[in-house]
Amino acid sequence: MTNIRLKTLYSRFKSTLSNKEYWLCFIAGLSLVFAYAPFSQWYLALFIPAVVFHKVQLQTPKKSAKLIGLFAFGWFASGISWVHVSIDQFGGLPLVVSLSIMLLLCLYLALFPVLAVYLTARFSVNQQLNLWLLPSFWLISEYLRSVVLTGFPWLSLGYSQIDSPLANFAPVIGEVGITALLIIINICLVKIFHSIKLNNTKNLAFPTVFIFSLGILTYVLSNVAWVHMTGKTTKVALVQGNVAQSIKWAPEQEWPTMLKYLDLSRVNFDADIIIWPESAIPAMEPAVQDYLTTVNRSALLNDSAIITGIINYNFESKEYFNSLITLGKKETDDEQGYFYYHSNRYSKNHLLPIGEYVPFQEWLRPLAPLFNLPMSSFTRGRYVQKNLIANNVHLLPLLCFEIAFPHQLAANLTSKTNLLLTVSNDAWFGNSHGPHQHMEIARMRALEFGRPLLRSTNNGITAVVDHRGDFIARIPQFEERVLKAEVPLVTGETPYSQWPRLILLLMVLIPLIIVKAITFTRN
């Protein structure tokens, strides 16, 4: 009996390997990585999913789920392969184990597109896949991907369009809306292909009108200014220390690293605001009060302000926080600047699993170095916190991959917010495409919310972005450099910045309305 079962499994496996449709969907998923940074071939996202949708629409729900699952697995396997760099170099695990963890993560993420197709089939008539339902369920599954197990919304389709004409929609419907548009565009291509193939011009009407109307609306939005220049600017200096991750937390490197950042800043005190990256100071805040006092006085004497990443330890609650603090000038009449545990600080809310906190740590920490990385016992900061104030400028801070969560940004945006600030340490991921994708996400936030963005990192990509998501200035990765720029300040609000959750709801409902409209037209 066991031999029969093994032969059956082997036969199914062999049949799967020889199935051209499976390979086509998997390769289509693999190739989608080229739509994102650093390759930035955004047009690929306009038709690659259509190849898969064409294959799934006439299949059984089970076969459709398999096909979309292979597509999604290829998509994430190539798109987030950079995760393996940190696991392999700093996780202390054998190669086969680190690769297995990477593949398990990709399989987990692939479940969400599979869920979208399953729900589409479940609510389609006679279980024959109605592709027009897919955009709604795709957005629902993407939302779940951003919240389940703390969320990992990386590689959402809309990010690939930051340099495309569709980027004009970001201030109105956000990246989530652009994702919906991409899904609908791909479905329209499938419907147009089928209509031409079957010589059925009746079904050409809606897809053709939609794409034509989208083109016109794209042009109209390109001429709309949602925010306006105030005529004011602020001078910034972003310090990229380029400290190797392997020595960052070595005790003997603590003072050399801190002196490096101070020396790089002293010659740039003509800037209004100087930004140091995430955990630039590799020490606990209470332990380096003399150093912080010196930096604070230097900044005050030069009418400048410094924002730096640091680890804070609260003696009362015995908790660690991944924090940002301001040193030097806060407002015009500020003569004191920094003092320990002042309110002009930010503590990271959205912690990275394994890297910043370890679930079930009593069992996992003894297993491998991966679960016992330096600084992996943080406590969450509050979801809503005050903007940082530096030299009369209000900055909305987000630490590392928090920039991938637009709803958190929206919750902390105020009418006084001048700049968005994100600091990171992407040294974990080496010379991979991960930091480029991270920068791409940050650019999308600037465009969605209509605010210039400062991004300071340990080893790149350090950059200044304007309110349109375009680079003002940037410096190369893996170099010890200081990026100086003059940033124009803006005023006004984008529609998306005011109603991000409402817009998400509408983007889920609109495709359902389209389905009803198409059904009504046919009847």
- Tell me the catalytic residues: 278, 348, 400
Measured CA distances, 227 to 61, 467, 492 (Å): 46, 8, 4
- The number of CA neighbours under 13 Å toward the Cβ of 332 is 0
Q: Return the amino acid letter for 61.
A: P
Q: Rounded distance, CA 77 to CA 155, Å?
A: 11
Q: Rounded distance, CA 177 to CA 500, Å?
A: 10
Q: What Rg do the C-alpha atoms of the chain give, in angstroms?
A: 25
| Residue 482 β-bridge partners | 239
**Residues 6 or more apart from 481 whose CB is under 8 A from it?**
240, 242, 462, 475
Q: Return the amino acid letter for 437.
A: Q
Concatenating the DSSP letter of every residue in 421-477 gives: EEEE-GGGGTTSSHHHHHHHHHHHHHHHHT--EEEEESSS-EEEE-TTS-EEEEE-T
End-to-end CA distance of the chain: 55
- The number of CA neighbours under 13 Å toward the Cβ of 189 is 17
- The number of CA neighbours under 13 Å toward the Cβ of 128 is 3
| Residue 309 β-bridge partners | 324
- The number of CA neighbours under 13 Å toward the Cβ of 139 is 28
- On the question of a cis peptide bond just before residue 461, with omega within 30 degrees of 0, the verdict is yes
Going 288 to 290 to 291 to 296, the CA torsion angle's sign is: positive
Tokens of 371: 């679960």
Would you call 347 helix, strand, or coil by DSSP? strand
Measured CA distances, 500 to 170, 259, 394 (Å): 11, 42, 22
The torsion defined by the Cα of 359, 360, 363 and 367, in degrees rounded to 10, comes to: -10
Q: Is 251 exposed, middle or buried (0-12, 13-18, 19+ CB in 10 A)?
A: exposed
The strand pair at 273-275 and 305-314 is best described as parallel
Tokens of 288: 């380096």
Helices in 222-360 by DSSP H: which ranges? Answer: 254-266, 289-301
Q: Rounded distance, CA 16 to CA 118, Å?
A: 20
Q: Rounded distance, CA 206 to CA 261, Å?
A: 58
